[in-house]
Structure 1
Amino acid sequence: MAPSTKPGENMLWGGRFTGLVQGGHPGQHRLRPGQHQGGILTEDEFAKIEQGLKDVMKEWETDSFKIVPGVDEDIHTANERRLGEIIGKDVAGKLHTGRSRNEQVACDMRMWLRDRLREIEGYLRAQPIRWSHWMLSYGLAFAADLERLRETIKRVNKSPLGCGALAGNPFGIDRDMMAAELGFDGLLWNSMGGVADRDFVAEMLSWSSMLMIHISRWAEDLIIYSTAEFGFVRLADAYSTGSSLMPQKKNPDSLELLRGKSGRVVGREVGFKMTLKGLASTYNKDLQESWEPMLDTVKSVADSIRIAEGVLATLETRPDRMKASLDPFMLATDLADYLVRKGVPFRETHHISGHYEQLREVDARFEPDVAACFDYEKSVEMRSAKGGTSKECVFEQIRVLNKMLEAEA
């Protein structure tokens, strides 16, 4: 059975038009000649159904479609009922031949989710800037999320049409042709699995959890960096609010909301997987529980990415405050590295370098050139192995990041 969602909502766009006997989306493609030759429709009937569905689509687009309470059980019966009013019930009645609402619902979900994930793919872009290594740590994490998203889309984009309610289709339909017409990359090969499979929703939820964990950690860092104690960054007014108690204070509301949304998304994933784990083969009514987490998570993720992009695009960095926070104690490791180059065992250097205020008294191997260690810029530049903090390493990471973003889905 199809879910009891109100007909006409955007999530069921695919469901409005996937009922043609030989498949196709009349808003996207003109079906090729011969696609009505499964022996069920004449060429004239095919033309009437195609035109009729286009007329139905226009009514949805103009918000003029009238839902009939008590008659329209779901989006599929609503479309079929209206099609019959437009072209006649005798022809429209053939629309559902060889179709099961189980497979139609699964197809609707995959088409809707495929299109939404492709939109999210367009949102998910890293924006590295020159306070660099921290930014790139998240930029590369988000780029890896983008790679995982592209892999997820490949598995979402498989067609269940032709699987029937569970045992397949008896009318010799061309499943490959229908899949191609609807923009799918291939087929689900087992009819029982095809109508019951919601792994594509679970995988999307898992991917979303990973992304939102990264966004949450990024937001937490910026919340800390924006505090008065650090003051490394300042949020734009559009992404923060004033404090009723302290007028000079800015509350990082946008970042706190992003951090909070991550818990919601992770919870959706866990909850849905608990639904899946105990289901028997083929379609079970429990699978209606896939709709709400799918819809809510897609919206939460899409909104969160755009908010994060807005925060980053309007963020004011304060390099003077960053420089003021530098402390010579941060260079203890550089002193240890200095001693390693003098031949001191690495484990011993950590004890010695912790007492560098009286360097010569601690160890005679400290020579006048040790003064070069007390240079923050040099300290950063010394980390020149791939993935390090030197400028060349940062530029290399940016090049790697750009390649990841440019890679085809």
Structure 2
Amino acid sequence: MSSSRTSLWGGRFAGGPAEALARLSVCVQFDWRLAPYDLAASRAHARVLAGAGLLDADELGRMLAALDDLEAACAAGEFRPTVDDEDVHTALERGLLERLGTLGGKLRAGRSRNDQVATDLRLYLRDHVRGMATNLVQLADALIEQAERHVDTPVPGMTHLQHAQPVTFGHWLLAHVQPLLRDLERLRDWDTRAAISPLGAGALAGSSLPLDPAAVAKELGFVAPAANSMDAVADRDFVAELLFVASLLGVHLSRLGEEVVLWTSQEFGWVELDDAFATGSSIMPQKKNADIAELTRGKAGRLIGDLVSVLTMLKGLPLTYNRDMQEDKEPAFDAVDTLELVLPALAGMISTMTVRVDRMVAAAPAGYTLATEVADWLVRKGIPFREAHEVTGRLVALCVARECALDEVSDGDLELVSPHLDPSVRDVLSVRSALAARTTPGSTGPGPVADQLASAVDKLDGWREWATEHVVPR
């Protein structure tokens, strides 16, 4: 290997890598974002080397001071990787050697890029998952704030994108909050499994040096060192699992985005977006487009692709480390970056949108959404539901033929449809009465919706606290 460039390998090689190999191998252009985490792990490793008697007190002090100086230089942009740096580890060792000379080379004892990168990526993702959770809480807050304004705003609930039964818009919005709460639970569950330190596993077999993986794990905010050194360097479950959570979250966001597209359409007209969160057309001056909602739908495909990419990369790898694993970072970083863009934009769009209550109220009974109320009314009179369903179906067919609403049918026609129908059925033929009748937990009545709101707010307060925790040493 050439003496003019820093390398972490090459002693047995008579010459440097071919240009094509070097270009294929280099990954510093995207793994440089791991630098703060690599430096944190290096400080912990330096202390462990000192504890093992491999660095004296003076060497440890100089080593830690150089690492701190290097970190400051990285943060200020004064130290950057070069075209000759293969990866973040190579670049940072070069920086350390520039500051310490041969002493900088002692830090490499007892560790490998295999356990380094596995550690760095866990630290990075555990750190950024907190930011993801913070943004998720903010989106849930936006939905809840809108739901609080519309606890009793009626709107036609849908099945098969057809009018089904009246619900409240607050209930509908809270239906989007529930999967976000589950996504937050999945993130915390993921973090529990990801809180294992690979550092100390070396290349695959551990180290003959008297290191202390438990001490490193504790300093870096992990709960324990890895139980098996081979698994420690080969495991990328934590990447795949986080990408699954991210892709499922993307699907949830996409469904919300799709509904906003519908709600803002001329055909629905239920919602007006704030000008700051909509775009126009370059040719049609009248257009106001829900681009955030549409981009949210599109980004879901990207998140799913990130997951598929990593699963496909992992599926045939023998133990332990293989260079294929270099392909784990770009999908992981892409998922983090994508959600950091999408979540705040979506939260802003939801929090500033204007709900057209008048249009929702007008649409709520359309499409015979109160038909089930008639069937339930008959059931309360002792009619078997099978017969009640048939009777109500005939009533709807009559209304369709005459192009009238359910409450516009005459008393005579009610009796014509069925002797079980009498004028008192009109008591249930209002949207307000239909909503008020929904009193069971989780249903769309104003009382249950208020209960859902209180529960969601309470849960989010807990997530807010968890999301602000720092798991990586500062």
TM-score, structure 1 normalization: 0.92
Report the counterpart of residue 264 of structure 2 in structure 1: 226
User: CA distance change for structure 1 residues 124 and 278 in 2, over 3 Å: closer, same or farther?
Assistant: same
Shift of residue 41, structure 1, vs aligned partner:
0.8
Aligned with residue 120 of structure 2, among 95, 108, 131: 108
Post-superposition Cα deviations, 1:97-132, rounded to whole Å, max 9, x if no partner, equal: 111110001111111111111111111121321231
* Alpha-carbon distance between aligned partners in 2 of 1:327 and 1:62, rounded to the nearest angstrom: 61
Shift of residue 315, structure 1, vs aligned partner:
0.7
Report the counterpart of residue 28 of structure 2 in structure 1: 5
Shift of residue 170, structure 1, vs aligned partner:
1.4
Which of 321-330 and 225-234 deviates more?
321-330
Give the alignment of 1:37-48 within 5 angstroms: 37-48=51-62
Q: Structure 1: which 5+ residue stretches go unaligned? A: 25-30
Report the counterpart of residue 17 of structure 2 in structure 1: none
Shift of residue 332, structure 1, vs aligned partner:
0.4
Report the counterpart of residue 64 of structure 2 in structure 1: 50
Q: Is the 8 A contact 1:241 1:251 kept in 2?
A: yes
Aligned with residue 87 of structure 1, among 92, 100, 106: 100
Does 1:332 find its partner at 2:346? no
Report the counterpart of residue 170 of structure 2 in structure 1: 132
Which of 334-343 and 92-101 deviates more?
92-101
Does 1:381 find its partner at 2:436? yes
Q: Structure 2: which 5+ residue stretches go unaligned? A: 1-7, 9-24, 151-168, 396-408, 467-474
* Alpha-carbon distance between aligned partners in 2 of 1:221 and 1:326, rounded to the nearest angstrom: 17
Report the counterpart of residue 461 of structure 2 in structure 1: 406
- Superposition RMSD in Å: 2.0
* Alpha-carbon distance between aligned partners in 2 of 1:77 and 1:50, rounded to the nearest angstrom: 18
Shift of residue 73, structure 1, vs aligned partner:
3.2
User: CA distance change for structure 1 residues 3 and 383 in 2, over 3 Å: closer, same or farther?
Assistant: farther
* Alpha-carbon distance between aligned partners in 1 of 2:93 and 2:282, rounded to the nearest angstrom: 57
* Alpha-carbon distance between aligned partners in 1 of 2:307 and 2:101, rounded to the nearest angstrom: 45
Q: Count matched residues.
A: 398
Post-superposition Cα deviations, 1:132-174, rounded to whole Å, max 9, x if no partner, equal: 1110100111111111111112222221000110001211211
Q: Is the 8 A contact 1:275 1:286 kept in 2?
A: yes
Does 1:193 find its partner at 2:221? no
User: CA distance change for structure 1 residues 298 and 8 in 2, over 3 Å: closer, same or farther?
Assistant: closer
Which of 351-360 and 224-233 deviates more?
351-360
* Alpha-carbon distance between aligned partners in 1 of 2:283 and 2:80, rounded to the nearest angstrom: 52
Amino acid at match of 2:67: L
Aligned with residue 171 of structure 1, among 198, 209, 218: 209
* Alpha-carbon distance between aligned partners in 1 of 2:53 and 2:284, rounded to the nearest angstrom: 76
Report the counterpart of residue 23 of structure 1 in structure 2: 45
* Alpha-carbon distance between aligned partners in 2 of 1:85 and 1:243, rounded to the nearest angstrom: 54
Post-superposition Cα deviations, 1:194-248, rounded to whole Å, max 9, x if no partner, equal: 0011110000110011101010011111111111111000111222222345433
Secondary structure, counterpart of 1:241 in structure 2: coil
Secondary structure, counterpart of 2:205 in structure 1: coil
* Alpha-carbon distance between aligned partners in 2 of 1:106 and 1:166, rounded to the nearest angstrom: 12
Shift of residue 35, structure 1, vs aligned partner:
7.2
Report the counterpart of residue 37 of structure 2 in structure 1: 14
Report the counterpart of residue 73 of structure 1 in structure 2: 86
Secondary structure, counterpart of 2:106 in structure 1: helix
Post-superposition Cα deviations, 1:61-101, rounded to whole Å, max 9, x if no partner, equal: 1111154543x333223222322332331x22211111111
User: CA distance change for structure 1 residues 345 and 171 in 2, over 3 Å: closer, same or farther?
Assistant: same
Does 1:122 find its partner at 2:134? yes
* Alpha-carbon distance between aligned partners in 1 of 2:29 and 2:82, rounded to the nearest angstrom: 11
User: CA distance change for structure 1 residues 132 and 111 in 2, over 3 Å: closer, same or farther?
Assistant: same
Report the counterpart of residue 28 of structure 1 in structure 2: none
Aligned with residue 353 of structure 1, among 375, 392, 400: 392
* Alpha-carbon distance between aligned partners in 1 of 2:462 and 2:75, rounded to the nearest angstrom: 35
Give the alignment of 1:284-299 within 5 angstroms: 284-299=322-337
Post-superposition Cα deviations, 1:341-372, rounded to whole Å, max 9, x if no partner, equal: 00111011111112334322122222332111
Secondary structure, counterpart of 2:86 in structure 1: coil
* Alpha-carbon distance between aligned partners in 2 of 1:84 and 1:266, rounded to the nearest angstrom: 41
Secondary structure, counterpart of 1:383 in structure 2: coil
* Alpha-carbon distance between aligned partners in 2 of 1:85 and 1:302, rounded to the nearest angstrom: 35
Does 1:63 find its partner at 2:77? yes
User: CA distance change for structure 1 residues 53 and 244 in 2, over 3 Å: closer, same or farther?
Assistant: closer
Q: Is the 8 A contact 2:133 2:187 kept in 1?
A: yes
Post-superposition Cα deviations, 1:291-347, rounded to whole Å, max 9, x if no partner, equal: 110011111112111111011011111001111213351100000000000011101
Which of 263-272 and 336-345 deviates more?
263-272
* Alpha-carbon distance between aligned partners in 2 of 1:184 and 1:3, rounded to the nearest angstrom: 29
Amino acid at match of 1:380: L
TM-score, structure 2 normalization: 0.80
